[in-house]
Amino acid sequence: MGHQLFHLHAEVCKTLSHPKRLEILSILSHDEMAVGDIVKKMKITKPNVSQHLAIMRNAGILEARRDGVNIYYRISNPKVIQACELMRQVLLENHSKREKLLRSERS
């Protein structure tokens, strides 16, 4: 299972490596939402949003449910948001360290 798990992990990371998909996760971080509402928030075309949603659903990151003509998406596991938030914190901390280093070099 070890090598297979690394492969699956890499696939999920690859899926999340697109800024628009991270934006979708941020939008869905509090509640499920209809595709049309996601489109309005992101201000990109519905086909583009739908493509990203399908990729994320196929990777198991999102789940969908149909209610009449609307399809609603939600994050399949709240730990996905926790993982993304941890990575964001690491990036912010690294950026802060670089800024401090640059300021100290200029002094």
pLDDT in tens, 46-100: 999 999 999 999 999 999 999 999 999 999 999 999 998 999 899 999 988 888 8
**pLDDT range class, residue 23, cuts 50, 70, 90:** very high
Between the two ends of the chain, the Cα-to-Cα distance in Å is 52
**CA–CA separation, 101 and 103 (whole Å):** 5
Residue 68's CB: how many other CB atoms inside 10 A? 5
pLDDT digits (tens, 9 = 90+) for 28-46: 998 999 999 999 999 899 9
Residue 12 has pLDDT above 90, yes or no: no
Rg (CA), the chain: 17
Distant-in-sequence, close-in-space partners of 16: CB < 8 Å, separation ≥ 6: 22, 25, 61, 84
Q: Which residues pair with 72 in a beta bridge?
A: 34, 65
pTM comes to 0.82
Question: Quick check: 57 and 73 in contact, CB under 8 A?
Answer: yes
Please state which of the four CATH numbers 1.10.10.10, 1.20.120.160, 1.10.150.120, 2.40.70.10 is assigned to the domain occupying 2-76. 1.10.10.10
Domain boundaries in the chain?
2-76
Q: For position 46, what pLDDT does the model report?
A: 95
Q: Which amino acid is at 45?
A: T
